[in-house]
Amino acid sequence: MSRRRYVARGVPGGYRIWDNKVRRWWGDVYELCSDDLLVELNGARDFDKVTALLKRYRAMKR
């Protein structure tokens, strides 16, 4: 099994997504662990699905 590019890491206030390839944070801080977003980023990377998931998780922060 290959190494995953995107992984969720706990930070104060929630979770952030770490990009192993470029070794930096990707996206915002999320209160809930975004498993379906990670699966999509590590899998098919469909732009429309990723955008919809990002909107959903940003709306949950409000």
What φ, ψ does residue 58 adopt, rounded to 5°? -70, -35
Specify if 1 maps to a domain. Answer: no
Specify if 55 maps to a domain. Answer: yes
Cβ-contact 33, 24 below 8 angstroms:
no
Total domains in the fold of the chain: 1
Residues of the chain where predicted confidence (pLDDT) is lower than 70: 1, 61-62
Note the pLDDT of residue 33.
81
Q: 11 is in which domain, residue-wise?
A: 6-61
Note the pLDDT of residue 3.
82
Note the pLDDT of residue 61.
67
Note the pLDDT of residue 1.
53
Note the pLDDT of residue 5.
94
Question: Could you report the per-residue pLDDT of 26-41, keeping only the tens digit for each?
Answer: 988 888 888 899 999 9
Specify if 34 maps to a domain. Answer: yes
Q: How many residues does the chain have?
A: 62
Specify if 35 maps to a domain. Answer: yes
Kindly compute the dihedral angle of the four CA atoms of residues 22, 53, 45, 25, in this order, to the nearest 10 degrees: 0
Any residues with CB less than 8 A from the CB of 11 and at least 6 apart, and which? Answer: 29
